[in-house]
Amino acid sequence: MRWSDEAIVLGSKRHGESSTIVELMTREHGRHLGLVRGGTGRRLRPILQAGNGVSAVWQARLDEHLGLYAIEGIELRAASFLAVSHALYGLTHLAELCRLLPERDPHPRIHAELSAMLDDLLDLRAAASGLVRFELLLLAELGFGLDLESCAATGTTTDLVYVSPKSGRAVSRQAGEPWKEKLLRLPEFVQGLDAGQPSVEDISAGFDLTGFFLLRHVLDPRGLRLPDARASFIAALLNSKAASAVAG
């Protein structure tokens, strides 16, 4: 068995004296692990850092084997994240989200969005809104996508400002008014309606929305909780707003 693919490094761990087991999010072969001989050496160690884009060739005698990787660096982003705390939190959380996907199950949209996310990770506000969208995409890829196109009660496609926690469907302002305290807020940027940069309040509401359904459908059934890195990333976002207010 042999294939080649573009990939993003999710993580790695030492194996034996000089080898490394590397976890990649590949474009066509999903989340896939493999052994890199000499992975702890000077040439390969910087390439095998989480967040880097690589070209990978995987081969094994049988498909179910761990297999061997031959890896070359393409986009070595990881070093730029080291001094930026929110970027490290975001990177850690993105890797944890990808690990919720079944191993070796192709998800080309996840690979594409992950690559785009990493390109924006140093910009806190852009990364934050992108991370909300990434979580929505992950829910959809796992079969738990939200229906945000029309109101669950009236069918209207305008003025959608809530989401039902029961159905995961959008609700219009008028239909949701009597039950607004029990509904989740639906920010415009989640719908692709906000042409500018969303506010911190809207992004925070987006995280509340995705976090609710991630817990219900994905994490709680596996005995997991929302990652600490996610909470740290959101805290960095909220602190940036507080710092801006003080400076202003």
Residues 12-28 have pLDDT tens digits of 999 999 999 999 999 99
pTM for the predicted model, two decimal places: 0.94
The chain-wide mean pLDDT, for the chain, equals 95
Residue ranges per structural domain of the chain = 2-79, 83-148+186-247
**Which DSSP state fits 14?**
E
The pLDDT confidence band at residue 246, using thresholds 50, 70 and 90, is: very low
**What is the 3-state secondary structure of 158-186?**
CCEEEECCCCCEEEEHHHHHHHHHHCEEC
Cα separation values, 17 from 12, 70, 240, Å = 14, 18, 43
Identify the pLDDT of residue 195.
63
Between CA 245 and CA 239 the distance in angstroms is: 10
Domain 2-79: CATH superfamily is: Nucleic acid-binding proteins (2.40.50.140)
**What secondary structure letter does DSSP report for 102?**
P
Residue 122 has pLDDT above 80, yes or no: yes
